C-alpha cells in the first residue's frame, strides 16, 4: 500500500518555484531518504505531505486520504524544528499536549525513556541543550504510534553520539514495520538509514534510486594540497578551487586522481582527501549537466 | 471539544509562565479608571457606574485586539505553529482553544477595573445586573475577537502590532467610551453608532444601569461582527504559516 504520494506537484512562493512537477511514492514499510542541498525543496515537499501547505498544482495523498484533513493525520508523526519548541512549557507538558491528539499514545514515561530524556520531564524546554531539544523533537514524532513519520533534517547540528542514538530509534521504528520519509542534506545519514533515496535539486527530482546508485552519483571527494604554481592536468576533476596556496580538486574517483597526481611528479605538500558535503557535490555536479541528468 | 480544552490549557500555561503579559493587558484600563473615572465621576453613583461599564468595554476591546491580533501573528511566526498544524486537530479545536484562553485572560484583566470601580467610586450594580454585564462581556468581545483574529492571520507580527495600536484608540474615543452617555462631543455622537465599540458599550450600559439601547448601534455591531468574522475566516484559510522557511 502507498502511504504517502505526491503526483505531479508544483508549488510556488511568489515568483520562486520551490517544487516543479515533482512525483514521489512511499510504500508501507519503506524508509525513503530525501536528499538535496538547502533550498532544493525538501521542506516544501514535507510540508505538502504533512498537510501544512497546499500544492498549487498536482495532488498529495497520505494513507490514501487528504493530508489537509485532520483525521488523515492521526496516522502521521512529524518532528518540529528544534528551535520551535514552546520555551516556557515543560518537557512532560509538551509530550502530553501532542499525545492528546492521538487515540492510543505511547505513555509519557516510556517515550521519554526510549529517547533517553526521562530525567528531563520537569524541565522547561527553553532550558534544554540543543541535543536534548532534538531528542524531544524526534520523540514527539512517535507519540501517536504513527503508521508513517516525516522527519525533516532530524539530526542537523548534533554530535556523533546523539546522532547514532537517534538513528537507532528510527531504525527500531522501521524494523517494527513503520514507514519513514526522512529528509537530510547529509549523505551519511541517508546511507545509515534509508534503502531508497530521492534526490531533489532546484525543485525537481534529480534521481530516485537505491542508496548505492546515488552514492556513486554524488559521492564526490575533495583532494587538496599545497602547491606553488598551477596544478597539472589531472583525470576526473569536476571542479577546481584555489584558496591562497592550497588547491582543492573535486572528483568522483579520488584514488585515480591521487595516483595521477603522484605520477605527475609535481612538488605538492600536505595532501588531504576528504568527503565533500552534499552541497559541494551538488554544486560540482550541476555545473556538469550531463552528470546531473539522471 | 476535549481538544479545544487541551489547546486552551496549554495556551494559558504559556501565558501564565510570563506573567508580565497579563499585567500589560490589565494595566491600561486600570490606569484609565484611576486617572479619569475615579477623580471625575467617582462621587456620582450613576456616572461612576456608566464610566466603569465603559472601561470594562474598553478593556475587553483592548485585550481582544491584542491577545488575538498580536498573539496569533506572533504564534504564526514561530516554527511550533507549523508543527501544530501537522497534528490531528483541525481549525475548530485550535480556534476554540485560542478563544477560550483569550476569554479567560480578558476576564482576568477585567478584575482590576471592576475592583477599582467597586472600592474607589460610588459605582453600584445589582447582582442581576452584574451577571447580565458578565454575559454582555462575551457578546461585546465577539466582534473584537474576530477583528483580532482577522488581523493576526492576515498580517505579519510587526504589521499586526501597528494596526492594533492604531485602531484601538479611534475605536475607543470614536465609540464614546471616554465620555458619559450623551455627553460626547457632537462629531463623536454622529460617528459613534457606526463603530462596534458603541453597540458593545450601549449593551453594557443597559446591563448595569438604565440606558435605552439604540437600534442603529446594535445593527452596526452585528454588521461589524459578521464582516470581521468573514475577514477572519478568509485570512485563516489563506494562511499557511510563514511564507518562507
Q: How buried is A38 (Cβ within 10 angstroms: 0-12 exposed, 13-18 middle, 19+ buried)?
A: exposed
Alpha carbon A133 to its chain centroid, in Å, reads: 18
Q: Is B238 on the interface with A (CB under 8 A)?
A: no
Q: Which three cell numbers stand for residue A95?
A: 509530550
Residues 6+ apart with CB under 8 A from A282: A36, A37, A201, A218
Closest CA to A115 of A93, A132, A128, A103: A132
The residue behind cell 506573567 is B19
The residue behind cell 498529495 is A60
Tens digits of residue pLDDT in B13-32: 888 887 776 777 778 778 88
**Which residues does chain A have within 8 Å of residue B6's beta carbon, measured at their own beta carbons?**
97, 100-101
Q: Which of residues 39-78 of A touch B (CB under 8 A)?
A: 43-44, 47, 50-54, 69-71, 73-74, 76, 78
Q: Are strands A179-184 and A148-152 parallel, antiparallel or unpaired?
A: parallel
Q: Are strands A269-275 and A246-251 parallel, antiparallel or unpaired?
A: unpaired
Tens digits of residue pLDDT in B187-229: 888 888 889 998 899 999 888 888 888 888 899 999 999 999 9
- pLDDT in the model for residue A292: 38
CB pairs < 8 Å spanning A and B = 75
Low-confidence ranges of chain A (pLDDT < 70): 82, 277-294
Residue B184 has pLDDT above 80, yes or no: no
**Which residues does chain B have within 8 Å of residue A52's beta carbon, measured at their own beta carbons?**
82, 85-86, 240-241
Alpha carbon A169 to its chain centroid, in Å, reads: 16
Q: Is B183 on the interface with A (CB under 8 A)?
A: no
Mutate to test the interface with A, among B80, B81, B86, B90 (most CBs of A within 10 A): B86
| CA angle in degrees (0–180, nearest 5) for A209-A213-A219 | 125
Phi-psi region of B241 (alpha: psi -120 to 50; beta: other; left: phi over 0): left
| CA angle in degrees (0–180, nearest 5) for A219-A223-A229 | 145
Contact B85 A52 (CB under 8 A): yes
How close, in Å, is residue B156 to chain A by CA atoms? 16
**Which domains does chain A possess?**
2-216 (3.40.50.300), 221-275 (no CATH)
Tens digits of residue pLDDT in B144-173: 999 999 999 999 999 999 999 999 889 988
Q: Which of residues 102-161 of A touch B (CB under 8 A)?
A: 102, 124, 140, 144, 150
Alpha carbon A73 to its chain centroid, in Å, reads: 22
In three state form, how does the secondary structure of B145-210 look? HHHHHHHHHHCCHHHHHHHHHHHHHHHHHHCCCCCCCCCCCHHHHHHHHHCHHHHHHHHHHHHHCC
Residue of A nearest to B92 (CA): A70
- pLDDT in the model for residue A274: 86
CB atoms within 10 A of CB B226: 12
Closest CA to B65 of B3, B140, B119, B12: B140
What is the interface pTM, i.e. ipTM, of the complex?
0.79
**In sequence order, which ranges of A9-128 are alpha helices (DSSP H)?**
42-49, 91-99, 108-114
Contact B88 A78 (CB under 8 A): no
Nearest to B88 among A43, A52, A74 (CB): A74
Residues 6+ apart with CB under 8 A from A205: A22, A23, A24, A198, A199
Tens digits of residue pLDDT in A95-126: 999 999 999 999 999 999 988 889 999 999 99
Alpha carbon A2 to its chain centroid, in Å, reads: 21
Sheet of A239-243, strand order: A239-243, A246-251, A221-226, A269-275
Mutate to test the interface with B, among A65, A67, A69, A70 (most CBs of B within 10 A): A70
- pLDDT in the model for residue B89: 82
Length of chain A: 294
**In sequence order, which ranges of chain B are alpha helices (DSSP H)?**
2-16, 20-32, 38-41, 45-64, 71-76, 79-84, 91-120, 127-154, 157-174, 186-191, 196-208, 215-238
How close, in Å, is residue B102 to chain A by CA atoms? 18
Residue B240 has pLDDT above 80, yes or no: no
- pLDDT in the model for residue B245: 35
Mean pLDDT of chain B: 86
Mutate to test the interface with B, among A101, A137, A154 (most CBs of B within 10 A): A101
Amino acid at each position: 500500500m502507498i502511504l504517502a504520494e505526491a503526483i505531479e506537484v508544483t508549488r510556488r512562493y511568489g515568483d520562486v518555484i520551490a517544487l516543479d512537477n515533482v512525483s514521489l511514492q512511499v510504500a508501507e514499510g519503506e524508509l525513503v531518504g530525501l536528499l538535496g542541498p538547502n533550498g532544493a525543496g525538501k521542506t516544501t515537499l514535507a510540508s505538502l505531505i504533512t498537510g501544512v501547505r497546499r500544492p498549487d498544482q498536482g495532488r498529495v495523498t497520505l494513507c490514501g486520504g487528504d493530508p489537509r484533513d485532520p483525521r488523515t493525520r492521526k496516522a502521521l508523526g512529524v518532528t518540529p524544528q528544534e528551535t520551535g519548541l514552546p520555551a516556557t512549557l515543560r518537557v512532560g507538558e509538551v509530550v502530553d499536549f501532542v499525545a492528546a491528539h492521538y487515540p492510543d499514545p505511547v505513555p509519557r514515561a516510556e517515550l521519554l525513556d526510549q529517547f533517553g530524556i526521562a530525567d528531563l520531564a520537569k524541565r522547561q524546554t527553553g532550558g534544554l541543550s540543543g541535543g536534548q531539544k532534538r531528542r524531544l523533537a524526534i520523540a514527539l514524532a512517535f507519540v501517536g504510534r504513527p503508521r508513517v513519520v516525516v522527519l525533516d533534517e532530524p539530526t542537523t547540528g548534533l554530535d556523533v553520539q546523539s546522532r547514532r542514538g537517534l538513528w537507532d530509534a528510527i531504525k527500531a521504528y522501521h524494523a517494527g514495520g513503520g514507514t519513514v520519509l526522512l529528509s537530510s542534506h547529509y549523505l551519511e545519514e541517508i546511507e545509515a538509514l534509508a534503502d531508497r533515496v530521492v534526490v531533489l535539486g532546484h525543485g525537481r527530482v534529480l534521481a530516485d534510486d537505491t542508496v548505492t546508485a546515488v552514492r556513486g552519483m554524488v559521492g564526490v571527494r575533495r583532494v587538496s594540497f599545497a602547491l606553488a604554481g598551477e596544478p597539472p592536468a589531472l583525470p576526473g576533476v569536476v571542479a577546481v578551487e584555489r584558496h591562497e596556496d592550497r588547491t582543492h580538486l573535486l572528483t568522483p574517483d579520488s584514488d585515480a586522481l591521487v595516483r595521477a597526481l603522484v605520477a605527475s611528479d609535481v612538488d605538492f605538500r600536505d595532501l588531504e582527501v576528504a568527503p565533500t558535503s552534499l552541497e559541494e557535490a551538488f554544486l560540482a555536479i550541476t555545473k556538469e549537466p550531463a552528470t546531473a541528468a539522471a | 471539544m476535549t481538544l479545544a480544552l487541551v489547546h486552551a490549557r496549554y495556551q494559558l500555561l504559556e501565558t501564565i509562565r510570563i506573567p508580565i503579559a497579563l499585567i500589560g493587558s490589565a494595566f491600561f484600563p486600570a490606569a484609565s479608571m484611576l486617572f479619569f473615572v475615579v477623580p471625575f465621576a467617582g462621587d456620582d453613583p450613576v456616572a461612576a457606574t456608566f464610566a466603569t461599564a465603559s472601561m470594562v468595554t474598553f478593556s475587553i476591546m483592548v485585550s481582544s485586539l491584542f491577545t488575538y491580533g498580536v498573539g496569533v501573528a506572533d504564534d504564526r511566526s514561530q516554527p511550533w505553529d507549523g508543527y501544530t498544524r501537522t497534528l490531528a486537530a483541525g481549525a475548530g479545536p485550535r480556534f476554540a482553544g485560542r478563544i477560550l484562553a483569550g476569554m479567560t485572560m480578558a476576564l482576568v484583566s477585567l478584575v482590576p477595573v471592576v475592583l477599582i470601580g467597586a472600592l474607589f467610586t460610588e459605582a453600584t450594580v445589582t447582582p442581576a445586573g452584574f451577571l447580565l454585564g458578565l454575559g454582555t462581556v462575551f457578546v461585546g468581545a465577539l466582534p473584537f475577537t474576530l477583528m483580532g483574529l482577522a488581523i493576526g492571520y492576515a498580517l505579519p507580527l510587526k504589521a499586526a502590532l501597528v494596526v492594533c495600536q492604531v485602531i484601538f484608540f479611534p475605536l475607543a474615543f470614536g465609540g464614546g467610551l471616554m465620555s458619559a452617555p450623551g455627553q460626547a462631543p457632537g462629531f463623536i455622537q454622529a460617528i459613534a453608532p457606526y463603530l462596534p465599540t458603541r453597540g458593545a458599550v450601549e449593551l453594557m450600559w443597559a446591563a448595569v444601569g438604565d440606558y435605552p439601547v439604540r437600534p442603529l448601534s446594535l445593527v452596526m455591531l452585528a454588521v461589524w461582527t459578521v464582516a470581521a468574522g468573514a475577514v477572519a475566516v478568509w485570512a485563516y484559510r489563506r494562511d499557511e504559516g510563514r511564507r518562507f522557511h
